[in-house]
Amino acid sequence: MIFTYAIEHNLRFEYAEPAQDSVMTLYVCPVRDRAQLLREFSVHTDPDGALFEFIDSFGNTGHFLDRPRNHERLSITARSVVEVGPLASTPERLGPGAWEALQSAVETVELWPMVHPSHFAGRTPALDRFQAMHDIAPGDDPLASARDLCARLHRVLEYAPGETRVDSPIDRIIETGRGVCQDYAHVMTAILRGWGIPCRYVSGYLGPPAGGVAQCESHAWVECWFPGVGWSGFDPTNDTAADERHIRVAVGRDYADVPPARGVFHGAGGSMLETEVAIERIGEEASVMR
């Protein structure tokens, strides 16, 4: 099946005092590849001005803006129309020799960064205790182990908006057992990398069911690389494989690489961000793999 989504992502920065020279990087443009077709995309800002597109080191499409004039707020609206699917099926297991094949593959330029610790996804004493407490350990097959970990994290962690912040370390959700999709993804990433499985953080959106409209926020999950399979997505927040409802925007080592918006400004006061995402599923059709 191919699912089509219309997405509107709004970000509103309110400044305590008039700001100037707001410089910002955006990751709000959905991925273009064999499994995801970007039919339409636009970004509008208030104050208006030039927008520059770039491709980062992970292959993501980003945008850069600079608003030098004084302004009390900065509004950004990104609109997309995306087709997702059909997706290739993933086997239940990889078979004999898979762990050895992984050890040989992770030395490549593409995979090396995704098997080593990063800012939000690294080994900590709290993570070691968490794994021991919940009897989390790799099995005889890497793919089956990743799938089991996805289910285990879904069972032992509680989804609790507002419990963590975007800059919370993984120890926060480990110690409280409560967090959001970003935290689930960071914990799963850190554990899998510790097992030697290349794992990358995915930012994006979760589409609504057929005929539905979702008022939501950005979503996050993980993708793991396996020999003979390539990248496969897992969503521990929902205990599911990434499917046609998962709309990918960017990939990186963790959230720090691909936040929807990141920047600085000159001004005496602070700023407050409000975000709003609306996703409409506008159609679907049967298809064979392209």
Q: Check if CATH label 3.90.245.10 holds for domain 2-85+259-285.
A: no
Average pLDDT over residues 96-111: 92
Ranges of each domain in the chain: 2-85+259-285, 98-257
Could you read off the pLDDT of 125-157 as tens digits, one per residue? Answer: 999 999 999 999 999 999 999 999 999 999 999
Which residues are bridge partners to 215 per DSSP? 278
Could you read off the pLDDT of 22-79 as tens digits, one per residue? Answer: 999 999 999 999 899 999 999 999 999 999 999 999 999 999 999 999 999 999 999 9
Structure confidence at residue 287 as a pLDDT band (50, 70, 90):
very low
Token pair for 73: 């707020």
Average pLDDT over residues 240-250: 96
Share of the chain above pLDDT 90, in %: 83
Average model confidence (pLDDT) across the chain: 93
The Cα 150–Cα 259 span in angstroms is: 23
The domain 98-257 is classified under which CATH number: 3.10.620.30, 3.30.70.100, 3.90.1170.40, 3.40.50.300?
3.10.620.30
Residues 37 and 82 sit within 8 Å (Cβ to Cβ): yes
Do 2-85+259-285 and 98-257 show the same overall fold? no
The residue to which tokens 């998962």 are assigned:
246
pTM comes to 0.94
Q: Helix/strand/coil (H, E, C) string of the chain?
A: CEEEEEEEEEEEEEEEEEEEEEEEEECCCCCCECCEEEEEEEEEEECCCCEEEEECCCCCEEEEEEECCCEEEEEEEEEEEEEECCCCCCCCCCCCCHHHHHHHHCCCCCCHHHHCCCCCCCCCHHHHHHHHHCCCCCCCCHHHHHHHHHHHHHHHCEECCCCCCCCCCHHHHHHHCEECHHHHHHHHHHHHHHCCCCEEEEEEEECCCCCCEEEECCEEEEEEEECCCEEEEEECCCCEECCCCEEEEEEECCHHHCCCEEEEEECCCCEEEEEEEEEEEEEEECCCCC
